[in-house]
């Protein structure tokens, strides 16, 4: 099978080129501004040493920004963390793909690699700047994103809990419709992504439930039926669903609501969440974000939000919900290499009855971030990655898409040149082949 080349900023005019040239420097500048603004907090918490750490971090990030903007060669990671050697082996692999004398660089190497590398370098910059090393430079933006979405969170928690009070009297068709609606809510929750917005406020201001009908035609691939079948065919037997999380804030709430309804409708008996080990792509979820979000819910005076907080905290405590993290999710690797690079994670996913992959970056890694034709079947683009039945739930924010009907992509491009990156369109794309 011919595997197409990787998306890359070497293709001038591509979204990758615009990202490396303009968007990533903007995100890095926001990191620099944040570290600047927190100077007084570092002084309060750590005294003069905190100021020294802040200065070290600022110097590191300014140098990093210059490396990126002047297309310097990619350099090894030196912070001696558990994944450092994997990153440096990957750099050697990228070098092996190039001709003599050529070096991996920001504008010449695969977009997936250099963008993931940027976030790993941001983590290195903080790691090498004690005592502020554990500060999450994206925390403020993630927390604000949640707080700005609170009305939408109230509407969603209210909808969930009110539905659950009548679940015993709800028909099979009613349950199926409720599940389908909350799967769509989880899809559109993926629009709330601070990487695509360059860190600008991208919160959910209104109740998403009222917009589902009007958004329906924007779902380019809708395999909800296959997802329902695989979950409802053996109801009441033990059933594990994994959710590979994406963004904190409103999207995380939509994923918790989906996980709640999976248990309440007996479509699953356990839900496993996979979050990031380090701050990633501005708004991706870490354990801190999960703990902070549950705490926020518990501390509100809104009855349905606090009810959700109690139930979800109990689910995590009782093991109905299980939290995982693995450093593979914050490596640059395409998922087709997971079985070799992280065999323990691959076999963990093989225990699942269904793995939901949230968001655009996960889709890029599922398909290798390659220039596939739009009509290539999803299963083909997954190549060797088939740990379990899986489903991508993703709004389109990068120019990779497969599994479309002939002409569908071309037709959209006529009227909307930005259809692949605007976040307006989404997919619920399923693959059963294991
Ligand atoms: O994975 P997510 O949060 O849905 O999207 C991540 C993202 O914002 O970052 C990259 C562009 O910088 C793209 O993959 C996508 O636009
Ligand atoms: Mn993300």
Query: Residue 234's pLDDT band (boundaries 50, 70, 90)?
Result: confident
> pLDDT tens-digit profile of 96-134?
999 888 999 999 999 999 999 999 999 999 999 999 999
Which residue ranges have their beta carbon within 6 Å of ligand 1?
19, 23, 115, 190, 193, 195-196, 246-247, 281, 359-361, 364, 397-398
Q: Edge-to-edge strands of the sheet including 426-431?
A: 219-222, 426-431, 390-395, 354-358, 240-244, 270-275, 321-325
434 or 204, higher pLDDT: 434
Question: Which numbered atom of ligand 1 lies nearest the CA of 395?
Answer: 4
Provide the ipTM: 0.99
Which residue is closest in CA terms to ligand 1's atom 8? 196
Judge whether residue 167 has pLDDT over 90.
Answer: yes
Which residue is closest in CA terms to ligand 1's atom 14? 361
> pLDDT tens-digit profile of 14-49?
999 999 999 999 999 999 999 999 999 999 999 999
| Ligand 2 centroid – CA 284 distance (Å) | 5
Check if the beta carbon of residue 5 is closer than 8 Å to that of residue 97.
no
Q: What is the pLDDT of residue 208?
A: 83
| Ligand 1 centroid – CA 359 distance (Å) | 7
> pLDDT tens-digit profile of 64-93?
999 999 999 999 999 999 999 999 999 999
Q: What is the CA radius of gyration of the chain?
A: 21
Give, for ligand 1, the residue of 122, 397, 399 to mutate: max count of ligand atoms closer than 8 Å to Cβ: 397
Half-sphere exposure of 122 (CA within 13 A, CB side): 26
Give, for ligand 1, the residue of 14, 281, 367 to mutate: max count of ligand atoms closer than 8 Å to Cβ: 281
Judge whether residue 195 has pLDDT over 90.
Answer: no
Give, for ligand 1, the residue of 25, 189, 195, 197 to mutate: max count of ligand atoms closer than 8 Å to Cβ: 195
Judge whether residue 434 has pLDDT over 90.
Answer: no
The ligand minimizing its distance to the Cα of 422 is 1
CA 37 vs. chain centroid, Å, equals 27
Question: Which numbered atom of ligand 1 lies nearest the CA of 115?
Answer: 12
Rounded to 5 degrees, φ, ψ at 28 are: -65, -35
Q: Identify which of 331, 312, 332 has the alpha carbon closest to the alpha carbon of residue 322.
A: 312
Report pTM.
0.97
| Ligand 1 centroid – CA 196 distance (Å) | 6
What is the three-class DSSP state of 9? coil
Its sign, for the CA torsion 392, 395, 397, 398, is positive
When pLDDT is averaged across residues 227-244 and rounded to a whole number, the result is 91
């Amino acid at each position: 099978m011919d595997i197409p080349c990787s998306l890359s900023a070497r293709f001038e005019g591509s979204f990758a080129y615009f990202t490396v040239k303009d968007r990533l420097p903007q995100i890095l500048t926001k990191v620099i501004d944040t570290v600047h603004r927190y100077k007084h907090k570092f002084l309060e918490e750590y005294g003069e040493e905190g100021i020294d750490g802040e200065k070290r971090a600022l110097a590191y990030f300014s140098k990093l920004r210059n490396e990126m903007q002047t297309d310097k060669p990619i350099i090894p990671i030196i912070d001696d963390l558990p994944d450092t050697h994997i990153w440096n082996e990957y750099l050697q692999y990228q070098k092996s793909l190039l001709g003599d004398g050529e070096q991996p660089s920001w504008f010449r190497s695969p977009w997936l690699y250099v963008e993931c590398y940027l976030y790993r370098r941001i983590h290195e910059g903080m790691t090498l700047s004690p005592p502020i090393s554990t500060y999450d430079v994206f925390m403020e933006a993630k927390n604000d994103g949640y707080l700005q979405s609170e009305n939408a969170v109230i509407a969603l928690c209210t909808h969930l809990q009110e539905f659950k009070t009548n679940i015993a009297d709800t028909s099979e068709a009613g349950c199926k419709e409720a599940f389908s609606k909350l799967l769509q809510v989880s899809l559109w929750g993926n629009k709330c992504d601070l990487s695509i917005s360059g860190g600008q406020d991208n919160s959910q201001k209104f109740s998403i439930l009222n917009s589902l009908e009007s958004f329906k035609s924007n779902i380019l691939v809708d395999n909800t039926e296959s997802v329902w079948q695989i979950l409802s065919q053996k109801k009441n037997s033990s059933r594990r669903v994994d959710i590979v999380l994406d963004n904190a804030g409103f999207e995380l709430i939509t994923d918790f609501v989906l996980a709640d309804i999976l248990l309440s409708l007996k479509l699953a008996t356990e839900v496993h969440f996979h979050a990031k080990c380090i701050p990633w792509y501005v708004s991706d979820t870490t354990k801190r974000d999960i703990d902070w979000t549950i705490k926020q819910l518990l501390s509100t005076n809104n009855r349905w939000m606090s009810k959700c907080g109690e139930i979800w905290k109990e689910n995590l405590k009782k093991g109905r919900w299980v939290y995982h993290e693995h450093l593979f999710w914050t490596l640059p690797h395409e998922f087709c290499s997971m079985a070799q690079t992280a065999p323990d994670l691959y076999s963990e996913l093989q225990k699942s009855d269904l793995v939901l992959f949230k968001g655009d970056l996960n889709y890029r890694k599922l398909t290798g971030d390659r220039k596939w034709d739009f009509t290539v079947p999803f299963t083909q683009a997954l190549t060797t990655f088939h740990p379990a039945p899986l489903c991508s739930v993703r709004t389109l924010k990068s120019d990779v898409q497969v599994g479309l009907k002939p002409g569908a992509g071309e037709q959209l491009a006529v009227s909307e040149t930005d259809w692949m990156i605007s976040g307006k369109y989404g997919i619920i794309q399923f693959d059963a082949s294991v």
